[in-house]
């Protein structure tokens, strides 16, 4: 077997494994850009310098410049006070809240995380 044929075989295997890893990361919402990765590495370095025994929270690191408003629960409560019927709740409030949470969870250019994890960590306490 020629050297070129051996290298081609190695290249094919590497590409196959790379594709598999990419699909796996994509399915777990863990496919980050180089910009995201650099920001996470910088944030993780600072985090572990301060608290080496505390696990690093990627979601909180991604939200450091865009945190959920501390009075989010109060805003939600005030909004829901204006809903006077079940029809308003199902046809107006729920779709509006869902789209609001979605757009707040995934601002342009931000890394994508599992939506259940984002909701549980950031918004569920208000409910």
**Cβ-defined contacts of 16-22 (< 8 Å, 24+):** none
pLDDT for position 125: 86
Task: Return d(Cα 62, Cα 56) in angstroms, integer.
Answer: 11
Residue that is written with structure tokens 């590409």 in the block: 15
pLDDT of residue 39: 92
Q: Is the pTM of this model over 0.75?
A: no
Tell me the C-alpha distance between 48 and 34, whole Å.
21
What was the pLDDT predicted at 42?
96
pLDDT given at position 107: 80
pLDDT in single tens digits along all 127 residues of the chain: 788 888 998 899 999 999 998 888 788 777 788 888 899 999 999 999 999 999 999 999 999 988 999 999 999 999 999 999 999 999 999 999 999 999 888 888 788 888 899 999 999 988 8
- Rounded-to-5 percentages of helix, strand, coil across the chain: 70, 0, 30
pLDDT of residue 40: 93
Residue 56 CB neighbours (<10 A): 13
Euclidean distance between CA atoms 121 and 115, whole angstroms: 10
């Amino acid at each position: 077997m020629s050297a070129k044929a051996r290298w081609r075989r190695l290249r094919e295997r590497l590409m196959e494994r790379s594709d598999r890893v990419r699909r796996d990361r994509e399915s777990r919402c863990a496919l980050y850009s180089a910009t995201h990765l650099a920001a996470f590495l910088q944030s993780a370095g600072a985090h572990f310098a301060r608290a080496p025994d505390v696990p690093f929270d990627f979601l909180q690191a991604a939200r450091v410049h865009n945190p959920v408003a501390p009075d989010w629960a109060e805003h939600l409560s005030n909004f829901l006070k204006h809903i006077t019927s079940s029809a308003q709740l199902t046809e107006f409030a729920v779709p509006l809240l869902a789209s609001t949470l979605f757009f707040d969870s995934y601002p342009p250019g931000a890394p994508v995380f599992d939506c259940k994890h984002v909701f549980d960590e950031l918004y569920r306490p208000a409910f």
